[in-house]
Amino acid sequence: MKPLIAGNWKMNGLSASIAEIQSLIEKLSGSAPEDRDVLICPPATLVAHFAKEFSDEAIQFGGQDCHENEGGAHTGDISAEMLADVGAGYVIVGHSERRADHGETDAAVNAKAQAVLRAGLTPIICVGETEAERKAGEAETVVGAQLKGSLPSTESELVVAYEPVWAIGTGLTPTLEDIEDMHGFIRAKTPTGTRLLYGGSVKPGNAKDILSIDNVNGALVGGASLKADDFYPIVMAAPGGR
């Protein structure tokens, strides 16, 4: 399975941040890693700009969220069709920050994922337990319920990102064994061919170990995706398409 290394810029990035994309492309063009997919999900304000500027490059762009509807009276929201229109290839849905800050339920995430598919794009559906849930031994129960509720029934391509909430932006990561166990669990509950990303404090120093784990088909990277100097070694740490 071809690995996918995806960067989630969250609410970071201005027009000038295009310099980081240029730098990343320069680094990538030296090594032409055609055996992996590279994706950056900048703020919605930058998707059109980046996708147009770099349409011929080996890097794709995506959204961080979308509304479930195609259009209408939803002030401040954007639709998957709008992201598709400006050249996005993927949309992250159900990130734990959206679930926490905007009260997004599994049903809402499922509707968004369906909207992404409707627009002809690939959803990256995020799941993951909190620290309290892991400590209580409920990680698999929680993730299992999120998968059941958030994944649309489809034959189209899906990407699932396992992102333990307590590992996001904290510098903490599960043990390699815990990641392997959870990815094995998720593999058994997702359609054949689903790429499973790990997310949560992936850095240049731990990327190779994490990306070599069975059933880890890439990474969703937050903080370390903002700088080409950090993101490039993570992209290159993925084993080639397998």
> What residues have CB less than 8 Å from 104, skipping those under 6 apart?
94, 98, 112
68 as an active site residue: the answer is no
Nearer to ligand PEP, 108 or 220 (CB): 220
Minimum Å distance from CB 168 to ligand PEP? 4
Catalytic site residue from 81, 104, 163, 183: 163
The β-bridge relationship of strands 159-162 and 122-127 is parallel
Pick from 70, 67, 58: which is nearest to 25 by CA?
Answer: 58
Q: Which residues ranging from 168 to 227 are in contact with ligand PEP (CB under 6 A)?
A: 168-169, 199-202, 220-224
Catalytic residue, candidates 68, 95, 97, 133: 95
Residue 149 token pair? 């509720």
Q: Which is nearer to ligand PEP, 11 or 73 (CB)?
A: 11
Residue numbers 218-237 binding ligand PEP by CB under 6 A: 220-224
Give the nearer residue to ligand PEP in terms of CB position, either 221 or 228: 221
User: Active site includes 163?
Assistant: yes
Contact between 38 and ligand PEP per CB under 6 A: no
Cβ atoms 135, 168 nearer than 8 A: no
Query: First vs last Cα of the chain: how many Å apart?
Result: 5
- Element of type H or E holding 142: helix 139-150
Residue 11: which of 43, 54, 50, 44 has the closest Cα? Answer: 43
Active site residues: 95, 163
Q: Site residues (CB under 6 A) for ligand PEP? A: 8, 163, 168-169, 199-202, 220-224
